[in-house]
């Protein structure tokens, strides 16, 4: 039932923006009562947070696949993962709705100034995928790397500079010495 409600939110945000989406609209679109939506999510703000987290989970799936496809080369893995994230963000209807100023801008804080839940989920998933592919890396280094790249990725996704490939190359270039140091220490 939660997924049906979140699916309804996705459609409504795409069609009319978050600001014009009421809990009653979500309930109608999901085929449940408004009270059920409140019981499942507590408030409109919590519903928005769950919607954002579900979208983040989808992005993270593509990031994990990119890392797995390049597990033999950590630089290529970072490059592919960041490219997958930024390309996915640029093509994502929710991200477009948040960033285009169509009245959905009240969702923007949920990925920026109030985005700690998104950052924590993404960081922990990234720590897990790095640990699965490179288990000898120091946990503290992996945590620092994951936190840093998650924040950089969100920043680039929310304030895109235009060319994703340049952003990816710039971030990988900045992180390359740290990655080299972490892998050298693990040998």
CATH for 165: 1.10.357
Q: Which tokens in the block code for residue 24?
A: 């009653």
What pLDDT band is residue 97 in, cutting at 50, 70 and 90?
low
CA separation for the pair 58, 118 (Å, rounded): 12
- In the prediction, which pLDDT does 101 show? 56
Overall number of domains in the chain: 1
Residue 101 belongs to some domain of the structure: yes
Lowest model confidence (mean pLDDT) among 3-7, 85-89, 101-105: 101-105
- In the prediction, which pLDDT does 64 show? 95
Residue 60 belongs to some domain of the structure: yes
Residue 92 belongs to some domain of the structure: yes
Q: Can you give the three-state secondary structure of 162-178, one letter per residue?
A: CCHHHHHHHHHHHHHHH
The better pLDDT of the pair 14, 178 is held by: 178
Whether 106 has a pLDDT exceeding 80, the answer reads no
Residue 36 belongs to some domain of the structure: no
Residue 71 belongs to some domain of the structure: yes
Whether 87 has a pLDDT exceeding 70, the answer reads yes
Q: Give the mean model confidence (pLDDT) for residues 32-61.
A: 91
Q: Give the mean model confidence (pLDDT) for residues 118-129.
A: 93
Residue 7 belongs to some domain of the structure: no
Report yes or no: 70 and 77 within 8 Å, Cβ to Cβ.
yes
Whether 177 has a pLDDT exceeding 60, the answer reads yes
Residue 6 belongs to some domain of the structure: no
Residue with tokens 């989406």: 21
Residue 59 belongs to some domain of the structure: yes
* Residue 37 neighbours by CB distance under 10 Å: 25
Burial class (CB in 10 A: 0-12, 13-18, 19+), 86: buried
Whether 103 has a pLDDT exceeding 60, the answer reads no
State which residues form the domain around 131.
52-186
Task: Kindly report the pTM of this predicted structure.
Answer: 0.82
- In the prediction, which pLDDT does 174 show? 95
Lowest model confidence (mean pLDDT) among 63-77, 95-109, 111-125, 164-178: 95-109
């Amino acid at each position: 039932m939660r997924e049906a409600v979140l699916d309804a939110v996705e459609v409504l945000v795409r069609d009319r923006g978050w600001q014009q989406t009421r809990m009653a609209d979500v309930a109608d679109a999901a085929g449940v009562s408004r009270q059920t939506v409140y019981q499942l999510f507590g408030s409109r703000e919590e519903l928005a947070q769950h919607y954002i987290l579900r979208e983040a989970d989808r992005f993270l799936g593509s990031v994990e696949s990119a890392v797995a496809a390049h597990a033999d080369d950590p630089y290529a893995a970072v490059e592919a993962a960041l490219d997958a994230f930024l390309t996915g963000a640029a093509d994502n209807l929710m991200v477009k709705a948040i960033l285009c100023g169509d009245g959905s801008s009240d969702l923007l804080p949920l990925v920026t100034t109030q985005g700690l839940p998104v950052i924590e989920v993404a960081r922990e998933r990234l720590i897990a995928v790095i640990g699965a592919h490179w288990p000898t890396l120091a946990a503290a280094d992996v945590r620092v790397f994951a936190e840093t790249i998650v924040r950089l990725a969100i920043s680039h996704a929310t304030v895109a500079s235009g060319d994703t490939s340049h952003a990816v190359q710039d971030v990988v270039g900045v992180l390359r010495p740290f990655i080299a140091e972490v892998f050298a220490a693990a040998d």
